[in-house]
Structures are given as structure tokens and as C-alpha cells.
Structure 1
Amino acid sequence: MKLMYLLQIIFRCTLLALAVYHGAKREARFMKSALLVFAMTFLPALIHVILRVEIDSFSILIYLVILFMTLYLGGSLGYYDRFSWWDRITHFLSGAAFVGFGIATIRAGSDITKILVILFGFNFSITLHVFWEVLEYVSDCVLHGNAQRWQKFHINKNHVSNIHLSEKAIQPAGLVDTMNDFNCCIVGAVLASAVWWFFL
């Protein structure tokens, strides 16, 4: 537990250093991203204080990695467009991490069988991903973005991105992207559930 606390302090200090660095270079977008990740690191502690739910250290660690990979590296530095596999890795990890969040939620103040705890954790993770994909869709519709990779060509601040659609694709890129996200999430959630079976 002390190691986790130390890692969180190091992680937050690194984010603040990145925010100062980008602020000095007048890179507002990167600075805001680092500060957003910094603020989101307090979510597990907030959940613990408000809901009395204590999330395990390993799930919190994966959560911190996901934050950095998605919001800073993926969103701000363009890793989603640079590496076609980046999105899949983040969904796989989040599928695994949020099983732990679900298990912590249902175990708080309840005495139920292990199989139901695992099933709830698994379903909790999948449900969060469903909501995430819906939010991506709404964001694309309202803000004309390309989070679900439905546009063959999409101009962002760095370059034109078309790496997510093969010329031989049978299905639209948006559908392929969404289904890949779901599949990676399910694989991560299944593996995490199997690991949790031995720890509960």
C-alpha cells in the first residue's frame, strides 16, 4: 500500500512537471492534457471517501497507466493516429482494470458468493465500455470528431489520418473500430476475471 502511495506521488509530480514544461513552451493543449490526467488521478480516492469503496492497488495502477496512455499520449501526442494498435491496448487494459473497480463496488458492505462478485465485476467493466463507445459516438456527431474512426480522411492538428481504413475493408471503419474496442475490452475483462477468481 505504501508503494502504491509512493507511485501515485511520483506520477502526479511527473504530470505537474509536464504541465509546467508545456506551459513554458506555450503548448496549452498539452498542458491542459497533463493537468486533466493529474486531476483524474484523484478519482479512486474520491470514490473511497464518498462511496466507501476501496479499489485494489493493482486496478488503480492500471487505471493510472490508462489515463496517461489515453489522455496524454493518445489524445494530445497523437499516438492513436501514429500506432493503429494503441487504441486496442488501452481498451484491453481498461477492460482488465474496471473489473477490479466493479468487484470493489459490489464487495463494499455485501456478503455474496464469489461467482456473483466476478460476474458483477466483468459486467461492470463491459457496461462502462458500452457507455464509453456511446460517448465517442455522440462526441463525433456533435463536435465532428473522429474518435470512432468513421471518417476515411480526418484532418487533425498534426496531419491527415487514414491509417484506420483498409482499401479492402468490407465493413465501415467506424464499425470495425468499435468492434475491435469491444473485443479487446472483453478479452481484458475475461483475463482479469480469471485472475480475480484466485485472489478472492
Structure 2
Amino acid sequence: MLTLGLSIAPVFLASRYSISVPVPFLLAATLFIGGSIIMGEAFGFYERVWWWDLALHGSSAIGFGLIGFLFIFMLFEGDRFAAPPVAIAFLSFCLAVTVGSIWEIFEYAMDSIFGLNMQKSGLDDTMGDLIVNGLGAIIGAVSGYFYLSGREKRLFAPFIGQFVDANRRLYRRTKEKLRR
């Protein structure tokens, strides 16, 4: 239930703060929810498909890297000159890794307090998840770096452009600076 609540939270927050969420972001969130709750838990993919947990951790890390980039970039009001692209990308990476680490702490706490088996094989599962979280965070952060560096067609940079275009009021200084 907590995972479902956390998965749906972005839609409610977007509505509350009048943020336009492009279709690819909603599709990714829907696929993640389906992959984790329906396929993973209900149909037992976590136990039957050895890489399922790693794939979900990787995809969520990419997502948090992108969301972190968009949030940090918004704090600079879309001014790519207020902070170097590498600094914004680094902060995005740090945010995504932090979220992944907090999730691993949550899994450990649930296993310890309620006797669940969220960590599956213990340390090996946790370390694998953290490594994949780091790799996904790098992909998300590098996508943001590409966006700021004018290489908007690489990795997930096109999705960043869609979000910025749909929410211009949050990125006031962006205007034509990024379209050089």
C-alpha cells in the first residue's frame, strides 16, 4: 500500500501545484507501478525473474535522476549559467542515490521490524540494488547534462525538454538560452 501511495503521490502533487506532467512521464510511472506491484508482487516476478528487482531499481533511479535534475534546474529558474551543467548533473545524481539509499534503509527496517523479506538475499540484494541505483542515477544525471549542453537528443534529454516546455513558468529564464 505504501508503494502504491508513493507511486501515485507525484500525480497528486502535480495537480496541487499546477505542474503539467507530459505523457511519457505518466507512462513511465504507470509502467513502474505495474512492474512493481502487479508483476512483481502479485505475479511473483521478484522471485521468478532474477533481474526484475534490479530492473525496477535501475528504472526508478533514472527517474529520480531526471526528477532531481528538473527540480534542481527549476531552483535556478532555468538559468543554465547560474550553475555549471556538471554541478546540476552532480546534484541530480546525489539526489537519486540518496532516494535509492533511503529505500534500502526502508527495506531493512521493514524486514527487521515486521519480519518481511524485502531484501530477499540480504546484503547481496542490498548491494546489487545500490550499485544499480548508482548506475541509473548516472544515466539520469548525464541526460540532464546533455540537455544543458545542447545535446538534447541523447539518452533521456528529450523528456527533460518536454517537461521544461510544458512548465515554462517554473523555468522563467530558460527561454531561448537553451535553444542555441
TM-score (norm 1): 0.62
Distance 2:104 2:59 in 1: 16
Do the aligned partners of residues 118 and 86 (structure 1) sit closer, same or farther apart at CA in structure 2, a change above 3 Å counting? Answer: same
2:129 paired with 1:184? no
User: Secondary structure at the residue paired with 1:147?
Assistant: coil
Could you tell me the percent identity over the aligned residues? 24
1:174 to 119, 122, 136: 122
1:140 to 92, 111, 118: 111
1:103-182 map, 5 Å: 103-110=69-76, 111=79, 112-113=82-83, 114-149=85-120, 173-182=121-130
Structure of greater Rg: 1
Structure 2 unaligned residues grouped into runs of 5+: 149-180
**C-alpha separation in 1, matches of 2:38 and 2:20:** 26
- Cα RMSD for the two superposed structures: 2.6
Is the contact made by 1:63 and 1:94 (CA closer than 8 Å) also made in structure 2? no
Find the aligned partners of 2:95 and 2:24 in 1 and give their Cα distance.
Answer: 17
Q: Which residue of 2 aligns with 1:65?
A: 31
Change (3 A) 1:52 1:124: farther
Amino acid at match of 2:40: G
- Counterparts of 1:109 and 1:195 in 2: how far apart (Å)? 18
Q: Deviations over 1:165-194 (max 9, x none)?
A: xxxxxxxx3111000001111111112222
Residue 147 and residue 61 in structure 1: after superposition, are their counterparts in 2 closer, same or farther (change >3 A)? Answer: same
TM-score by length of 2: 0.68
Instruction: Give matches, 1:81-100, under 5 Å.
Output: 81-100=47-66
The amino acid across from 1:44 in the alignment is P
Secondary structure class of the residue paired with 1:108: helix
Query: Which structure 2 residues correspond to residues 189-200 of structure 1 after superposition, within 5 A?
Result: 189-200=137-148
Q: How far is the alpha carbon of 1:75 from its aligned partner?
A: 1.5
Question: Comparing both chains, which one has the higher relative contact order based on Cα–Cα distances under 8 Å and sequence gaps of 6 or more?
Answer: 2
Matched residue type, 2:14: H
Match status 1:43 vs 2:12? no
Deviation of the 1:115 alpha carbon:
2.0
Cα deviation, residue 59, structure 1 = 4.3
* Aligned equivalents of 1:116, 1:50: Cα separation in 2: 29
Q: Specify whether residues 103 and 53 from structure 1 end up closer, same or farther in structure 2 by C-alpha distance, changes over 3 A only.
A: farther
Aligned equivalents of 2:46, 2:135: Cα separation in 1: 20
